[in-house]
Amino acid sequence: MSASINDNANWARSDKYHNSFLTKPDEGLEHALKSSSENDLPQIAVSTAQGKYLWLVAKTIKAKRVLEVGTLGGYSTIWFARALPEDGKVVTAELSQKHADVARANFEHASVSSKIDIIVGSATETLPKLQTEPFDLVFIDADKESNAIYYKEARRLTRPGSVIIVDNVVRNGRTADPELSTPDVVGVRTLLQAIKEDEGVEVTTIATVGEKHYDGFTYILVL
């Protein structure tokens, strides 16, 4: 009998199977995950398949400048850096000094430090102070309560043709459950309302299953 569609083990097995054909091993990325675990960082980095997806988006739009909100141990940051040309730059914002220190070491190990700048501190405070040329791609993967603030700053820091991706917006279907009003769920709903009122973008949410169970991301094209 085949596994249930709601079987998390089956989703993880499917990810691993497809990755075995489609994603080459990368010692720098594997080290980042191992180092993050050894330093007791939360195990909430994007999956291998999701990291490869972000790499593909950056490559597809020929991104040279990427903004990331939420560095953690730098796993997704390394994916972005791998996708950029030699003169490309990833600016990544991280609240925790410990996480930033682990990430810096991981960037050094992966030989991508020259492409990455880390901003340490609350992104709700650091992003509004950021004055720079527009970013081609923004990836928002931090506390969900502040999603609308991060989105507002992402819009300010992008240009027509830029892409904004917000992770963890489906949350096992909880975002659409009217009986739930936890801060993370409310944060995603507030983001969706802000996007609905923004006539300068075209957007869709894609639900996903895999190693990270049942979730999804919102993909935003700046017009």
Q: Give 144-162 pLDDT, tens digit per residue.
A: 999 999 999 999 999 999 9
Position 9 scores a pLDDT of 92
The gap from C-alpha 114 to its chain's centroid, in whole angstroms, comes to 20
Alpha carbon separation from 168 to 10, 93, 213 (Å, rounded): 20, 17, 11
pLDDT on residue 7: 81
State the Cα torsion 51-53-57-60 to the nearest 10°: 120
Report how far residue 113's alpha carbon sits from residue 7's, in angstroms, rounded to the nearest whole number: 39
pLDDT of residue 6: 65
Q: Closest Cα to residue 98, out of 35, 46, 145?
A: 35
Q: What is the pLDDT of residue 8?
A: 87
Q: 86 pLDDT exceeds 90? A: yes
Quickly count: other Cβ atoms within 10 Å of residue 150's Cβ. 26
CATH fold for the domain made of 8-222: Rossmann fold (3.40.50)
Mean pLDDT value of segment 160-176: 98
Q: 54 Cβ partners below 8 Å, 6+ apart?
A: 46, 76, 79, 80, 83, 139, 165
